[in-house]
Amino acid sequence: MVMRTHADEVNQLPIVPWIEFRDQSGWNDALHLGRKVTWNARFVVQRPEDAVASIFLLRSGTIKVAAASETGLQRTLWLSGPGSTLGEAAMFGHHPYMHHITVIEPCVAYEFSRRVVLEELLPRHPAVSVALISNLAAKCYVMSTQVEEITFLSVPQRLARFFYGLYLARGSERLPLSHADIGDLLGLHRVTVSRTISAMKRAGLLESDTHEIVVTDITALATFVTETTPQDMRP
**What CATH number did the domain enclosing 85 receive?**
2.60.120.10
Determine which helix (DSSP H) or strand (DSSP E) holds 7, and give its type and residue range. helix 6-11
In a domain, 4, yes or no: no
Same domain, yes or no, for 105 and 131? yes
Same domain, yes or no, for 135 and 175? no
Same domain, yes or no, for 91 and 52? yes
Q: Determine the average pLDDT of the residues in 17-25.
A: 93
Same domain, yes or no, for 94 and 31? yes
Predicted pLDDT at 74: 82
Q: pLDDT band for position 228 (50/70/90)?
A: low
Same domain, yes or no, for 94 and 46? yes
Tens digits of residue pLDDT in 131-190: 999 999 999 999 998 888 888 888 998 999 999 988 988 888 998 888 988 998 998 999
Domain that holds residue 127: 18-148
Predicted pLDDT at 8: 43
Q: pLDDT band for position 12 (50/70/90)?
A: low
Tens digits of residue pLDDT in 200-210: 999 999 988 76
**Signed CA dihedral, 174, 162, 223, 82: sign only:** negative
Whether 19 and 135 have beta carbons less than 8 Å apart is answered as yes
Higher-scoring residue by pLDDT: 78, 4: 78
Mean pLDDT of the chain: 87
Predicted pLDDT at 222: 85
Taking each helix axis as running N to C, give the angle between helix 179-186 and helix 155-170, from 0 to 180 degrees, rounded to the nearest 10: 110
Same domain, yes or no, for 121 and 51? yes
Determine the Cα–Cα distance for residues 88 and 19; give it in Å rounded to an integer. Answer: 14
In a domain, 27, yes or no: yes
> In this model, does residue 231 exceed pLDDT 60?
no
In a domain, 225, yes or no: yes
- The predicted model scores a pTM of 0.80
Beta sheet of 206-208, edge-to-edge order: 174-175, 213-215, 206-208
For a pLDDT cut of 70, what percent of the chain falls above it?
90
In a domain, 6, yes or no: no
Tens digits of residue pLDDT in 110-132: 999 999 999 999 999 999 999 99
